[in-house]
Amino acid sequence: MVTYVFLAAAALAIVFGILAIAHRSPIINVLSLVVVFFALAAIYAVLGMDFLAAIQLIVYAGAVLVLFLFVIMLLNIRSVDRLGSGRRLQAILGALTSIAIGAAVVVAIATLTPAQGAVAPGSQGGTAFPIGRSLMTTHLLPFELVSLLLVAALVGALVLARKETR
């Protein structure tokens, strides 16, 4: 059962991932990416990472992609350039580089010893409670730094997007 859920989510992620980068309408790109993020959330949920599945949906599908949609509609972008419609050399080199990176990664994965994952019997998996406790104890400093980063990003975004007044 779990295997089928994973395979279905993987197929969805790949198909809509291709749609997200290949379709000419930016709205369809963003909505396809929403489907990809839902599929990834399903995979996290299947792996027992409940909290991650939730924040994947809330932060990515809920906040980040809505921001994308908002900017696309604000700038009124009706259609974007076709994939690889720029310089021919750039398109060929870009595709070759990407596929070379992918081939290298696949070779690296294939040399790993095959292992099946398992949730540690003593742990509670990835629910909000153990993750929250870990964030507030072991990882407290990076957690506070992230809050600083978010404030900086908020102020930076405001300053950048503000209308220039002289």
Partner 1 sequence: MNPTMIPIPSAWILYLSAVLFVIGAIGVLLRRNGISIFLALELMLNSANLAFASFAFRFAGASATAAHALNGQIFIFFIIAVAAAEAAVGLALFIAMYRRKETIDVDRFNILRW
| Contacting residue, 91, 136, 140, 144, with partner 1 by CB under 8 A | 91
CB of 20 to partner 1, least distance (A): 6
Residue environment code for 129-162, b if the CB has 16+ CB neighbours within 10 A, otherwise e: eebeeeeeeeeeeeeeeeeeeeeeeeeeeeeeee
Residue carrying structure tokens 């980040």: 64
CB of 166 to partner 1, least distance (A): 14
| Contacting residue, 8, 73, 95, 136, with partner 1 by CB under 8 A | 95
CA distances from 121 to 52, 100, 125 (A): 19, 39, 9
Applying CB under 8 A, the site for partner 1 has a residue count of: 93
Residue 90 binds partner 1 (CB under 8 A): yes
Chain centroid offset of residue 67 CA: 14
- Please check whether residue 69 is in contact with residue 76, taking contact to mean a CB–CB distance below 8 angstroms: no
Chain positions 106 to 145 lying near partner 1, rule: CB under 8 A, are: 106, 109-110, 112, 114-126, 130-131, 134-135, 138-139, 142
What track of x and - describes contact with partner 1 for positions 22 through 51 (by CB under 8 A)? x---x--xx--x--xx--x--xx-xxxx-x
| Contacting residue, 8, 73, 97, 140, with partner 1 by CB under 8 A | 97
